[in-house]
């Protein structure tokens, strides 16, 4: 009888022995260990107890659970996205078929993040949110490092420079210069004094080294750079072009607008507009029209870039 791989049982045992020997280990020890090993369970395999012990609210409000868990789900999905990007970046002999399949996966993860954002907008009582949010300050989703890593691995750093300074970008800029002008500084720097907010300082002191390291590692292997490397084969592939455009639009318009809409739902619910926990001038800062974050600019026409996010904003105002 043969095994799933098509080997005889003897061949299978021989292969296992050869594997351990090849690693300089004694196969008999491992074969004996197998004899006494316990079968694995679902809960151990996915580390369920650890996962379900990570929800620790800071207040008495039940809806804070929704907020914490939904953020955790987002971070897990961000991790899945980074995992796919890594697969593409590390793939030897990358071809259009593999690239397209992985970009398609990433796009589906973002589709899910967009369609589920209504859990934030409609899934918590405004009263509860406006009370428990005070105990979160000065933390903010702004400090999600994985979100920034996704951006750094998706496009050239030039495309993440604050839209107001992007035209001044030069390849001579060091990574420090780039991060000094990166778009998110606008949410954390006081324009009059030039001082950084605590939220931004804290974020940068924890993650800046990792961001610089990632920007350097992905300089020639981010999704946009790899798309160019695949060049002729890729640019002739209309399906790939559409998947890339879908991803760009989903991240940089749809997700951003779903997020903005949820923020507005809560923060503008009172008589006065509430301050963001991260302290930004969030209403202006969050809109795609101002930030013009675009991962794959060569896939859009000049007119599409000029009106980036405008239709989505009008749809929100009209709806
Ligand atoms: C009721 C729900 C939410 C509200 C009211 C809200 C509000 C805000 C605001 C006002 C900002 C601007 C920065 C600041 O804090 O000053 C921000 C940034 C951010 N938030 Fe949220 N947020 C919500 C949910 C989420 C969720 C579920 C995520 C997913 C991880 C998230 C991720 C982010 C990210 C990545 C940024 C930075 C975006 C950028 O720089 O353009 N937020 N949020």
Q: Could you tell which of 63, 120, 141 is best to mutate to test the pocket of ligand 1, judged by most ligand atoms within 8 Å of the CB?
A: 141
Average pLDDT over residues 156-183: 96
Distance 182 CA to ligand 1 centre (A): 17
* DSSP for residue 250: I
Domain 65-318 class?
A: mainly alpha
- pLDDT score at 283: 84
| pLDDT value of residue 1 | 59
pLDDT at 271 over 90: no
Contacts of 310-314 with CB under 8 Å at 24 or more apart are: 312/253, 312/254, 312/257, 312/288, 313/257, 313/287, 313/288, 313/289
**What is the residue with the minimal CA distance to atom 12 of ligand 1?**
282
Banded model confidence at residue 130, pLDDT cuts 50, 70, 90: very high
* Residues 96, 233 contacting (CB under 8 angstroms): yes
Residues 154 and 103 sit within 8 Å (Cβ to Cβ): no
Q: pTM score, two decimals? A: 0.94
Residue 319 has pLDDT above 60, yes or no: no
Mean pLDDT of 75-88: 98
pLDDT at site 194:
86
Parse the chain into domains and list their residue ranges. Answer: 9-37, 65-318
Nearest-atom number in ligand 1 for the CA of 148 is 35
Q: Tens digits of per-residue pLDDT, 163-174?
A: 999 999 999 999
Query: What is the number of the ligand 1 atom nearest to the C-alpha of 140?
Result: 15
C-beta of residue 189 within 8 angstroms of C-beta of residue 197: yes
Task: Place 2 in a pLDDT band, splitting at 50, 70 and 90.
Answer: low
Cα 318 to ligand 1 centroid, rounded to whole Å: 23
CA 147 to ligand 1: nearest atom: 35
User: pLDDT by residue (tens digit) across 206-264?
Assistant: 999 999 999 999 999 999 999 999 977 777 889 999 999 999 999 999 999 999 999 99
Measured between alpha carbons, how far is residue 3 from residues 9, 20, 27, 45, 58 in Å?
Answer: 7, 20, 20, 24, 53
Sign of torsion, CA 248 252 255 258?
negative
pLDDT value at residue 231: 78
Place 289 in a pLDDT band, splitting at 50, 70 and 90. very high
């Amino acid at each position: 009888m043969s095994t799933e791989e098509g080997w005889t049982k003897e061949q299978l045992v021989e292969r296992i022995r050869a594997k351990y020997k090849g690693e300089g280990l004694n196969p008999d020890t491992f074969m004996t260990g197998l004899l006494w090993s316990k079968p694995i369970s679902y809960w151990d395999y996915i580390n369920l107890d650890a996962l379900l012990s990570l929800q620790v609210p800071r207040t008495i409000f039940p809806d804070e659970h929704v907020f914490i868990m939904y953020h955790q789900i987002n971070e897990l999905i961000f991790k899945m996205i980074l995992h796919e990007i890594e697969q593409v970046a590390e793939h030897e002999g990358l071809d259009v078929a593999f690239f397209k399949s992985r970009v398609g996966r990433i796009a589906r993860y973002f589709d899910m993040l967009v369609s589920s954002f209504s859990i934030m907008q409609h899934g918590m009582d405004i009263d509860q949110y406006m009370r428990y949010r005070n105990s979160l300050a000065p933390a903010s989703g702004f400090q999600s490092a994985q979100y920034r890593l996704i951006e750094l691995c998706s496009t050239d750093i030039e495309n993440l420079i604050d839209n107001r300074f992007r035209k001044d970008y030069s390849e001579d800029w060091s990574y420090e210069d780039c991060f000094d002008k990166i778009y998110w500084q606008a949410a954390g720097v006081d324009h009059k004094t030039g001082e950084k907010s605590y939220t931004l300082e804290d974020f940068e002191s924890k993650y800046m080294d990792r961001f610089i390291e990632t920007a350097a590692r992905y300089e020639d292997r981010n999704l946009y750079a790899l798309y160019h490397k695949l060049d002729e084969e890729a640019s002739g592939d209309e399906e790939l072009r559409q998947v890339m455009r879908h991803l760009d639009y989903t991240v940089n318009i749809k997700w951003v607008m779903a997020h903005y809409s949820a923020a507005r739902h809560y923060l503008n619910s009172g008589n006065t507009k509430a301050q963001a926990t991260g302290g930004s001038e969030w209403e202006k800062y969050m809109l795609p029209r101002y930030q013009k974050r675009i991962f794959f600019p060569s896939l859009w026409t000049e007119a599409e870039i000029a009106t980036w996010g405008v239709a989505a904003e009008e749809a929100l105002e009209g709806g």
